[in-house]
């Protein structure tokens, strides 16, 4: 069976009140229109025509050149939208799947179910509609059925009588049409309705009158939800997120508080990892097994090895090895490559740096643009000074270096292997291997300085606790 699809995506998204086309808004990290395209590809439909309007550039930049675009210059309704694809549809014999561009919940399964139901019908079947039963059908087109249970026609909410408004079966705006019959019916629809638009839904009544049968597959309403405004966008995001979390939980990932956990569709997590409340995992993040992630952690586009713990931290586009301890309150900025068994603790920021295994920076440290070996110890308050006001450059810190607290390592020095840096140093030239680098002025102790100062003021020096006991 020859299969193609027409996706209607030319609407102006007026109700979104956004400069971004509604189909370009993201649900679980993927643009709405990409969800639709992926479902079609997965269902085996590779020939896809997108009806686009004013915001076509946004859609083209998402879907690229794998699909076909036709322009609907004026938005005169869903029927008019599909008519724009008639040049592509004419002469085709198989079926056309028609979908709205604003339904990210559509799945390949739903499309396959509709195709299978259509194929199971005889030659007298012209179309298969995907419908759903809504508790609150307000705004949707209603499905009117014959006495024998088959579909008779669809009536838009605005055009319904009191009686018809009570119908709870709604049109999802997803259909499988026999292509020649779709073209024939489109040629006969008018715009004689409350919105003076050409309704695609009218093709159903026309084909029925021609003597064809119209079938329907009833789906879960959540699989058909569309996005017309920001409220519906947030509802759809919540449903999609819940589904993604449940998939992970089925695969052995523990999610302590699904309500406060957001995971994008492309994220992969191995079993026995625990995700604590307030965690957001986005991009194409991959997390190994036996990790503990969170609370309140954001990981974006990163790879995390097995057994790593990341607590209250932010990790962006970086690789972290196995059995690392990150956080609380670490910031791992893009392009870090952190090996196994590394500890990066409170208020440690790392950017564009490689860090070797067993290295530790437990507190208040900044490492930027640097290459750090194995088993290095960063004392509290170490800073790699990687910016000279114009250019960024890092330092090279070889294996087993021990850096005392509150030290500045100015780029682009090399600290040789097994060297020590005295606490409080500002290191501006290389330190050879196995050496001690001291970059601070020598300490001078002035004996009896305090009593001297008191005498100069004509006072007797009194120790603080003596003063207190006097009071």
Which residues in 132-161 contact Mg ion (CB under 5 A)? none
Residue of 25, 80, 248, 363 with catalytic role: 363
Which of 315, 310, 346 shows the shortest CA–CA distance to 325? 310
- Contact, 438 vs 422, CB < 8 A? yes
Partner from ligand UD1, Mg ion, none contacting 332, C-beta within 5 to 8 A by type: none
Nearer to ligand UD1, 228 or 426 (CB): 228
3-state secondary structure of 385: strand
Catalytic residue status for 331: no
Kindly state the tokens that stand for 444: 């001078």
| Residue reference for tokens 């799945």 | 107
Residue with smallest beta-carbon separation from ligand UD1? 141
| Residue reference for tokens 């008639």 | 86
Minimum distance, C-beta of residue 186 to ligand UD1, in the bound complex (Å): 12
For residues 360 and 418, give the distance between their C-alpha atoms in angstroms, rounded to a whole number.
15
Query: Could you write out the DSSP letters of every residue in 169-207?
Result: EEEEEEEEEEHHHHHHHHTT----STT----TTHHHHHH
Give me the phi and psi of 17, to 5 degrees please: 50, 50
Contact pick of 76, 112, 317, 440 for ligand UD1 (by CB under 6 A): 76
* Number of residues forming the site for Mg ion (CB under 5 A): 2
Contact pick of 29, 31, 100, 404 for ligand UD1 (by CB under 6 A): 100
For residues 367 and 324, give the distance between their C-alpha atoms in angstroms, rounded to a whole number.
17
Partner from Mg ion, ligand UD1, none contacting 77, C-beta within 5 to 8 A by type: ligand UD1
Contact pick of 226, 373, 379, 439 for ligand UD1 (by CB under 6 A): 226
Which residues in 121-140 contact ligand UD1 (CB under 6 A)? 140
Q: What is the DSSP letter of 147?
A: T
The neighbouring-strand residues paired with 300 are: 282, 316
* CB-neighbour burial class of residue 319 (10 A; exposed 0-12, middle 13-18, buried 19+): middle
Distances (CA, A) of 397 to 242, 337, 342, 418, 421: 45, 15, 15, 10, 11
When asked if residue 199 is in the footprint of ligand UD1 (CB under 6 A), the reply is yes
Partner from Mg ion, ligand UD1, none contacting 367, C-beta within 5 to 8 A by type: none
| Residue reference for tokens 């939800």 | 225
* Number of residues forming the site for ligand UD1 (CB under 6 A): 28
Partner from Mg ion, ligand UD1, none contacting 396, C-beta within 5 to 8 A by type: none
Partner from ligand UD1, Mg ion, none contacting 72, C-beta within 5 to 8 A by type: ligand UD1
- Contact, 52 vs 60, CB < 8 A? yes
When asked if residue 356 is in the footprint of ligand UD1 (CB under 6 A), the reply is no
Which residues in 171-230 contact Mg ion (CB under 5 A)? 226, 228
**Kind and range of the H or E run holding 209:** helix 202-209
Residues 77-96: x where in contact with ligand UD1 by CB under 6 A, - otherwise, as a string: xx-xx---------------
Partner from Mg ion, ligand UD1, none contacting 80, C-beta within 5 to 8 A by type: ligand UD1
When asked if residue 307 is in the footprint of Mg ion (CB under 5 A), the reply is no
Minimum distance, C-beta of residue 79 to ligand UD1, in the bound complex (Å): 7
Minimum distance, C-beta of residue 62 to ligand UD1, in the bound complex (Å): 14
When asked if residue 170 is in the footprint of ligand UD1 (CB under 6 A), the reply is yes
Q: Which residues bind ligand UD1 (CB under 6 A)?
A: 8-11, 51, 72, 75-78, 80-81, 100-102, 140-141, 154, 156, 170-173, 199-201, 226, 228
Known catalytic residues?
Answer: 363
């Amino acid at each position: 069976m020859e299969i193609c699809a027409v996706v209607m995506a030319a609407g102006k998204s007026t109700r979104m009140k956004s400069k971004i086309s509604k189909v370009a808004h993201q649900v679980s990290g993927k643009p709405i229109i990409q969800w639709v395209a992926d479902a079609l590809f997965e269902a085996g439909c590779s020939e896809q025509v997108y009806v686009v309007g004013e915001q076509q550039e946004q859609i083209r930049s998402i879907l690229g050149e794998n699909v076909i675009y036709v322009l609907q210059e004026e938005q005169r309704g869903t029927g008019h939208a599909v008519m724009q694809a008639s040049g592509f549809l004419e002469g085709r014999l198989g079926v056309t799947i028609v979908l709205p561009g604003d339904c990210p919940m559509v799945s390949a399964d739903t499309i396959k179910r509709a195709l299978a139901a259509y194929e199971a019908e005889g030659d007298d079947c012209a179309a298969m509609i995907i419908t759903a039963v809504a508790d609150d059908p307000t705004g949707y087109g209603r499905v009117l059925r014959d006495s024998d249970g088959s579909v008779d026609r669809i009536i838009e909410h605005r055009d319904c009588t009191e009686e018809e408004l009570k119908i709870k079966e709604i049109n999802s705006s997803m259909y499988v049409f026999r292509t020649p019959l779709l073209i024939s019916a489109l040629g006969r629809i008018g715009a004689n309705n409350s919105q003076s638009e050409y309704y695609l839904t009218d093709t159903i009544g026309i084909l029925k009158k021609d003597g064809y049968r119209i079938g329907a597959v009833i789906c879960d309403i959540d699989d058909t939800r569309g996005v017309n405004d920001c409220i519906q966008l947030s509802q759809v995001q919540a449903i999609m997120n819940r589904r993604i979390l449940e998939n992970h939980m089925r695969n052995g990932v523990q999610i302590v508080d699904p309500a406060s956990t957001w995971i994008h569709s492309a994220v992969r997590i191995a079993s026995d990892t625990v995700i604590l409340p307030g965690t957001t995992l986005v991009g194409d993040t991959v997390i190994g097994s036996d990790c503990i992630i969170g609370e309140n952690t954001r990981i974006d586009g990163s790879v995390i090895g097995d057994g790593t713990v990341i607590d209250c931290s932010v990790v962006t586009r970086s690789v972290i090895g196995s059995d690392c301890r990150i956080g609380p309150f670490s910031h791992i900025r893009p392009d870090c490559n952190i090996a196994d068994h590394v500890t990066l603790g409170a208020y440690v920021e790392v950017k564009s740096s490689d860090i070797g295994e067993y290295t530790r920076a437990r507190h208040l440290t900044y490492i930027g643009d640097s290459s750090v070996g194995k088993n290095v110890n960063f004392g509290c308050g170490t800073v790699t000074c990687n910016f000279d006001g114009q250019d960024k450059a890092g330092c090279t810190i070889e294996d087993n270096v021990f850096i005392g607290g509150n030290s500045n390592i100015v780029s682009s020095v090399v600290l040789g292997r097994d060297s020590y840096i005295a606490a409080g140093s500002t290191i501006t030239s290389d330190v050879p291997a196995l050496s001690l680098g001291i970059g601070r002025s020598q300490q001078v102790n002035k004996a009896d300085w305090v009593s001297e100062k008191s005498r100069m003021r004509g006072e007797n020096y009194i120790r603080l606790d003596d003063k207190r006991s006097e009071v």
